[in-house]
Structure 1
Amino acid sequence: MPQTPPASTPAFSRARFKRDVLLCAIINTLVGTFFALQGSPIVRAMVTTHTIGFTVLAVTLTAMWLIKPSQNREIYVYFGAVVAGTMLGLGINFSMRFTREELEWALEEPRHLFRILGLFMVVAGMITIFLYSRIRAARLEAAFHAEQSLAAAQARQLAEAQLKMLQAQIEPHFLFNTLANVQSLIDIAPAEAKRMLMYFNDYLRASLARSRDEHGTLKQECDLLRAYLSILQIRMADRLRFRIDCPAELQDIEFAPMLLQPLVENAICHGLEPKLDGGEIKITARREAGLLKLSVRDNGLGLGKSQGGSGLGLANVQERLTAIYGPAGQLALYENQPVGVIAEITLPCTNPPP
C-alpha cells in the first residue's frame, strides 16, 4: 500500500526561487521608498534595504537547504538565519557606503544607529514572514499532490482488484460450460465441437493478450467479444444472433479490459437466455463530441422483467469507469424499443497512438 511521504522542506524549485527573488526586490523597494519619504536620501535608503533584504534571503534559503530542519525546529532556524543575515547585511552595507567621517558622525548621534537598526529589523522581519509563508505554502502544496498521488494509486489498485473479481466471476463458469459443451458435441456433432474449440482457442488467445497488455485497444476488446459470442452462438444455436460494429478509425483507441464483456454477459444471462426464442445482441462504437460511446443492445426480456437481479458486474463496471476515467466515465441503462435493454458506456476518446 503506498504511503504518504512525510512533510519536509520542499525541494529547490528554480521557478519558486525566481518568484522569491522578485518579491524580495519588491518588498525592499517598498520599504526603501517608505524611509525615503521620511527624509532619508533615496539612494541610501534603497541600497540599505536591498542589501539587508537580499542578504537575509540568501542566508535563510542557504540555512534551510543545508540544515533541513524538522517542522518543530524550523522557526528557530529561521530566527537564527534572519539574525545572521541581518548582521551580515549590516556589515556589507557599512563597508559599501560608510566612510570614516560618516561612521564617526553616526556614533556621535546614536539615534541614527537605532534608526538604521530599526530599518534593518523591519526589512528582515518582512523577509522572514514572507519566506516562512512561502515554505509553508509550498509544503502544503506538496502534501496535497502527495495525497492526490496516493488517491490515484489506490484508485488504480481498486480498479485492478475489481477487474480480477470480474474475471473470477465470468471466466470459470464460462470455461467449464464451454468444455462441457465441447465434450457433449464430440459424439453427436464433431464438426460443431471442432468449431467451438476453434472459437474457444481464439477466446483464450484474446483473453491472454488483454490480461498481459496494460493499455489494450478497442479492437482487442471486440476480438475477445467476437470469440466469446461465437462460442455462445454454438451453445444457443439459432436463439442467439450478434453484430459488432466498430469503425476502423476507432479500433486503435486505448480501452481498458473487462468493461464491455460484463454488459454482454448481463444481456445474455438476464435478457436472451430466459427468453424462449432468444434474440440479438448488437455492439456499436461511435465518436460523439470528443467522447467515445459504446452500446450493447439486446432485444431480450427488458428491464425489470428478467429473473436474478440487476445483472452481473454492472455496479463494478461503473466503479471501474469512475476509477479510470473520473466523472467522464459513465454507464447508463435504457429501455430498447420495442423490447430489450441498451447498456451504454461513455468515456473520453483517447486518440490512437501515432
Structure 2
Amino acid sequence: MPHLPSSKDHPARLVLDWTQWVWPGPRRVFSEDELARAGQQPWPVSIDYYVLSNVLVLLAINYREMSRHWALLICIAAMALTLGVLGLARILWRRPSRKRLNLISYAGVLGIVLASAPFAHPELSSPELTATLKANRDLVKFVAVFGMSVFLVTYTSFLFLTFIRVQQIEARLRELDEQAHALKLARRLATAQMQPHFLFNTLASVQHWVDTQDPRAGGTLRAFTQYLRATLPMFERESLSLAEELQIVRSYLEVMQARLGERLRWELEIEPGLEAVTVPPGLLLTLAENAIGHGIEPALRGGRVVVRAWRQDQQVVLEVEDDGMGLSSAEPVERLGLSNSRDRLRQLHGEQARLSLLPRAPGALAQVQIPWSAVAGGPAA
C-alpha cells in the first residue's frame, strides 16, 4: 500500500519511491528521548470497546451459518485474535515506526499462509482432516473470506494508526520546542529588562562613591562583580540549584543594601538539606527585585526583606517577604513580573507547582510551592 503524503513528501518522490509499495509507512524515526518526551499519551481505551463490540456483533450475526461443531471454537479463536490485534496496536501506539509496522504485517501474512496450508492443499494433510474439509467446504470458504477481510481491515487500521500516531508525536514535539523557545526568549527578555535599570543605577552609585572616596565603593563593587558573574549566563540554563540561586540573591541584596543603606535590612532563612533543589533561573531574584522595587524603595522608612526555604510535608516552600508598601488593589498582580516566573516554574516542575502573591500588613509575601515528588535532584526523603 502506498505511503500517505506528509508535509515533507513531494508527489514525484512518492511515485518514484518504490519502497513504499513493499515497505510502507512513515519515514520519521523517533529516538528514545523523543518518545519519552512526547510519546506518553495514554492508549484510548474506547478503541478496545469499539473493536470488541463489533467483533461480538459479527459473530452473533454469523453464528447460525457456522457448523455446530466448530461454532464455539471459531468464537474463541476470533476473540483471542482480536485481543492479540489490540495488543499489537498498543505496541504501535507506544513506538510507532515503519519497521515495526511492516514486521508485524509480514508476520501476519506468514501466519495466514501457514494456517491456510492445510485448506489450500488438503492432500498434504491426514485423511481424517481431508475428509472433514471436503465435508465442510462452505465453512472453509467462509473462514477464508472472513480471515482475508479481517487481515485487510487490520492492516489498513495499523497503517493509519501508525501515520496518525507519528503525526501526533511530531506535533507534540513541535509544541514542546515552541514552548521551550518561547521560554528561552522570555528568559532573555527578563535579562534585558532586569539589567539596564539595576546596572546603571549601581554603576552610578559606585562611580559616585569612588569619586568621593566613600568606603562603600569597594564592598559594593565586589558584590556587584559576583552578581554579574552569576547572572549573565544563568538565563541560558534550564534550571539552577537553590544554592546557586541564593548566591545570586545574596549578591543582589548586598548591592542594594549598599545603595539604600539603613533603609534596607535583609535575612536568609534556609533549612539545611535543600541546596540541590532545582528552581527556574532568576525565580527568587525576580521575587527579591519585586520586594525591593515595589515594597522597600517606595517606602520612606525602608523595610526588611526575608528569603526563606523549608520543607513542609510533601512540599518545598520558598518565600520572599517584605514589610514595605504592600500591594495596591488597583494594580494587577501580573504587572509585578510574575507571569513569566509562573510559566517557567510550571515548565520545570509541572502543573502542581504554585507561585502566589499574598498581602501582608504591612508588606507582601511571594510564596512558591513545589511538590516534593517533582523536585529533580532533591535530597532523599
Indicate the residue corresponding to 1:38 in structure 2.
67
Task: Check conservation: 1:82, 1:124, Cα contact below 8 A.
Answer: no
Partner SS state of residue 269, structure 1: helix
Structure 2: gaps of 5 or more residues: 1-5, 10-24, 31-42, 44-50, 90-96
Amino acid at match of 1:90: S
Q: How does 1:168-183 map to 2 (within 5 A)?
A: 168-183=192-207
Task: Check conservation: 1:334, 1:342, Cα contact below 8 A.
Answer: yes
- Normalising to structure 1: TM-score of the pair? 0.71
1:185 and 2:195 matched: no
Indicate the residue corresponding to 1:352 in structure 2.
378
Residue number among 268, 282, 287 corresponding to 1:244 in the alignment: 268
Flag the 1:170–1:89 CA change in 2: closer, same or farther, 3 A. Answer: same
- Normalising to structure 2: TM-score of the pair? 0.67
CA displacement at 1:258 relative to structure 2? 1.5
Task: Check conservation: 2:67, 2:139, Cα contact below 8 A.
Answer: no
Q: How does 1:141-156 map to 2 (within 5 A)?
A: 141-156=165-180
CA displacement at 1:144 relative to structure 2? 3.3
Amino acid at match of 2:147: V
CA RMSD after TM alignment: 4.6
1:342 and 2:360 matched: no
The worse-fitting range, judged by mean Cα deviation, of 281-290 and 222-231 is 281-290
Indicate the residue corresponding to 1:253 in structure 2.
277
Higher alpha-carbon Rg? 1
Indicate the residue corresponding to 1:75 in structure 2.
none
Indicate the residue corresponding to 2:26 in structure 1.
8
Indicate the residue corresponding to 1:90 in structure 2.
116
Amino acid at match of 2:230: A
Aligned equivalents of 1:280, 1:5: Cα separation in 2: 59
Amino acid at match of 1:162: A
Aligned equivalents of 1:180, 1:208: Cα separation in 2: 19
Task: Check conservation: 2:188, 2:235, Cα contact below 8 A.
Answer: no
1:301 and 2:319 matched: no
Amino acid at match of 1:346: Q
Flag the 1:171–1:130 CA change in 2: closer, same or farther, 3 A. Answer: same
The percent identity for this pair of structures is 25
Task: Check conservation: 1:282, 1:297, Cα contact below 8 A.
Answer: yes
Amino acid at match of 2:116: L
Structure 1: gaps of 5 or more residues: 17-22, 70-77
Amino acid at match of 1:8: P
The worse-fitting range, judged by mean Cα deviation, of 166-175 and 124-133 is 124-133
Task: Check conservation: 1:82, 1:128, Cα contact below 8 A.
Answer: no
- Per-residue CA deviation, residues 288-308 of structure 1 (Å, 9 max, x unaligned), is 232222111111111117999
1:315 and 2:344 matched: no
Between the two proteins, the alignment pairs up a number of residues equal to 315
CA displacement at 1:116 relative to structure 2? 1.3
Task: Check conservation: 1:285, 1:295, Cα contact below 8 A.
Answer: yes
Indicate the residue corresponding to 2:187 in structure 1.
163
Task: Check conservation: 1:336, 1:342, Cα contact below 8 A.
Answer: yes
1:279 and 2:303 matched: yes
CA displacement at 1:321 relative to structure 2? 2.4
1:263 and 2:287 matched: yes
Partner SS state of residue 302, structure 1: coil
Indicate the residue corresponding to 1:74 in structure 2.
none
